[in-house]
Amino acid sequence: MTSIPASRSPRTTRRRDARAAAVFLLPAVLFLAFVFFYPIASVVRTSFLDPFTDEFAGLANYRSLFADPIFHAAVVNNLKLVVVLPVLVVTSIVIAQVLHDQIRGWRVYRAIIFMPYVVPVVVAALVFGQILQSRGLVNGLLESVGLGGLAQNWLGDPKTAVWSVAGVIQWRELAFGVILFLARMTQLPEDLYDAAKVDGASWWQRLRHVTVPQMSTIIAFYAGIIVVALFNWVFNYVFVLTKGGPGTSTYVMEYYIYSRAFIYGDFGNAAALSTLMLAAILAFMVTFLTWLNRRGAL
């Protein structure tokens, strides 16, 4: 009589599966390390080297960075762009609620609102670069309604340039918030709205006391994504619209890195700021995701 082999223990099976998974994952991990982690390590290393001799320079690049007034201007401009955040959140929620109420033609409005998000950033910036010129569409409309005194070179005036860039960012990024909030609203229980209507709550009261509290987590998630974007994803807007000008009025940290490295050849300062931005974004994301996880959003 032939003996029946004993079945493998669960621990042995798990070890075998883990080894098999490691074999399949190894090529992907090596590829990721080559295209992602190696460049990061190289940038961090460069931030501690003299840009001209490639010798170790300690914190010299960081000291030079913090002593540069253009860097200070770039940080201030990035902080100014954060003003877009509350405007984006509020307008996205209001528009999403209007669409959720399914007003007449709401599907058409939804498509129109989402359309800017599928337009490439470069294309959007090129179009708005023409619209915001001294003889562009905005000034033409102002003059046609008798408000020619308000017309100006929106991108050429240091007082209005950064706010004009912020307006373009607002125009394009609004769609993402609207679609995100609208998707969440479809999951909210309708009996909450029915109860609020029975109690005589107005549209604004339902929005404030029913919708917003139920969506606090997704609102926080959207706000976190926009914060990262305003510090880390605005280079295309600035490069196409103003190239940091006039003067340094629209310099942002990404454009500072680009100009230091590829215009002035100062890879030390560029690498130092890149390292600082990486550390700041990682610290923010870890803190933010930990907070979301504690609230049960992840």
Instruction: Give residues with Cβ within 8 angstroms of 180, minimum separation 6.
Output: 92, 218, 222
pLDDT at 91: 95
Across residues 195-201, what is the average pLDDT?
A: 85
For residue 230, what are the CA distances in angstroms to 67, 80, 252?
A: 24, 10, 10
Q: How confident is the model at residue 149 (pLDDT cuts 50, 70, 90)?
A: confident
d(CA 220, CA 270): 31
Q: Which two tokens stand for residue 161?
A: 């340039």
Give the residues across from 26 on adjacent strands: none
pLDDT at 7: 54
Q: 79-267: what fold?
A: MetI-like fold (1.10.3720)
pTM for this predicted structure: 0.85
Instruction: Give residues with Cβ within 8 angstroms of 47, minimum separation 6.
Output: 61, 62, 268, 271, 272, 274, 275
Could you please report the per-residue DSSP string of the chain? -PPPPPPPPHHHHHHHHHHHHHHHHHHHHHHHIIIIIHHHHHHHHHTTB-TTT--B-TTHHHHHHHT-HHHHHHHHHHHHHTTHHHHHHHHHHHHHHHHHTT-TTHHHHHHHHHHHHHS-HHHHHHHHHHHTSTTSHHHHHHHHTT-GGG---TTTSTTTHHHHHHHHHHHHHHHHHHHHHHHHHTTS-HHHHHHHHHTT--HHHHIIIIIHHHTHHHHHHHHHHHHHHHHHS-HHHHHHHTTT-STTTT--HHHHHHIIIIIS--HHHHHHHHHHHHHHHHHHHHHHHHHHHHTT--
Omega cis (within 30) before 246: yes
d(CA 65, CA 257): 11
CB 241 within 8 A of CB 33: no
Angle at 22 between CA 19 and CA 24, to 5 degrees: 115
pLDDT at 174: 92
Nearest in space to 182 (alpha carbons), one of 111, 285, 104: 111
> For 149, phi and psi rounded to 5 degrees?
-65, -20
Across residues 27-33, what is the average pLDDT?
A: 84
For 106-142, what is each residue's pLDDT tens digit?
A: 888 888 888 888 889 999 999 999 999 888 899 999 9
Domain boundary assignment for the chain: 79-267
pLDDT at 292: 80
Q: How confident is the model at residue 190 (pLDDT cuts 50, 70, 90)?
A: confident
